[in-house]
Amino acid sequence: MKNLGIIGFGWLGNHIAERLSNRYHIFATTTTPSKAEDLSSKGYHATLASFPNELDSEMKPWEVAKDLDAIIISVPFSGLRGAQIPMNDKRQNLLNFLGDYKGQLFLMSSTGVYLQTEKEFAEHDQLTQEVESENFILEKFPQTNILRLAGLMGDQRLLKNYNISNLDLLVNHIHYADICSVVEKMLENQSQSKVYNIVAPIHPNKEEVINAQKDLPYNGERATTGRTISPAKLIQELDFEFQYPDPRYFHL
């Protein structure tokens, strides 16, 4: 079996580990001893690590990194939208933790890198060199795959479970199962230096999604324009088929 590292073992990291644990030994970082115990109980190898906003002079390279075939970074390095949080020290902490890692790398980014403009965005509309939260890692690790994730959904993360405004806006969502499938395929292909939008190809509006998830009819008109993110490059280059192409049916 190969070895897979997951830096930042949260909701998404857990789903990825569950999908791949029959083929990979899972090595994960977490911030609390109790979470480390939980990971160990699942058969994963846990390391306590955090990436504070201040430079950590004690940050050493991850000891197991040299034995890992791939590492997935699932820690946010962009700050909250609109919040001016200095991230340079936090990013440097991560770079120090990775040391001189030479294997396959994935950085979980966000479709939030695109402008809030009514158009369809493709990867070339926002180059990684122009996105500080992506370029910082590519400068040292050019082999990094950048996955720009849409709104994470699935399980209990359904639109009907939240207080939602602007119901007429089109959604850019992705089911966690499809993220896992993308990662799985890219691991198999030994992909390097790729940039993909990971987003379901169908973009209903919020009200359509909520009504479908509540088993209610939708009587409004289908919006045809709005801010949408295109997964066309992913579909073409990976020959990728979505298990959940339509956010209206993420609950099924």
The pLDDT of residue 79 is: 54
* Single-letter residue type at 37: E
pLDDT in tens, 127-151: 999 999 999 999 999 999 999 999 9
Element spanning 25, H or E: strand 24-30
The pLDDT of residue 84 is: 47
Q: Which CATH class is domain 2-158+174-201?
A: alpha beta
What mean pLDDT comes out for the span 218-234?
89
Whether residue 133 contacts residue 75, with contact meaning beta carbons closer than 8 Å, is answered with no
What mean pLDDT comes out for the span 7-28?
96
In 109-195, where does DSSP find H-type helix?
Answer: 132-138, 176-189
Average pLDDT, the chain: 94
142: left (phi over 0), alpha (psi -120 to 50) or beta: alpha
Check pLDDT > 90 for residue 85: no
SS3 154: strand
The pLDDT of residue 213 is: 95
- Residue 86's pLDDT band (cuts 50, 70, 90): low
* Single-letter residue type at 8: G
Please tell me the number of Cα atoms within 13 Å of 142 on its side-chain side: 2
Residue 96 to residues 55, 61, 99, 173, 210, Cα–Cα distance (Å): 10, 6, 5, 33, 43
Residue 191 to residues 33, 47, 159, Cα–Cα distance (Å): 34, 26, 32
From the list 243, 245, 155, the residue with the least C-alpha distance to 204 is 245
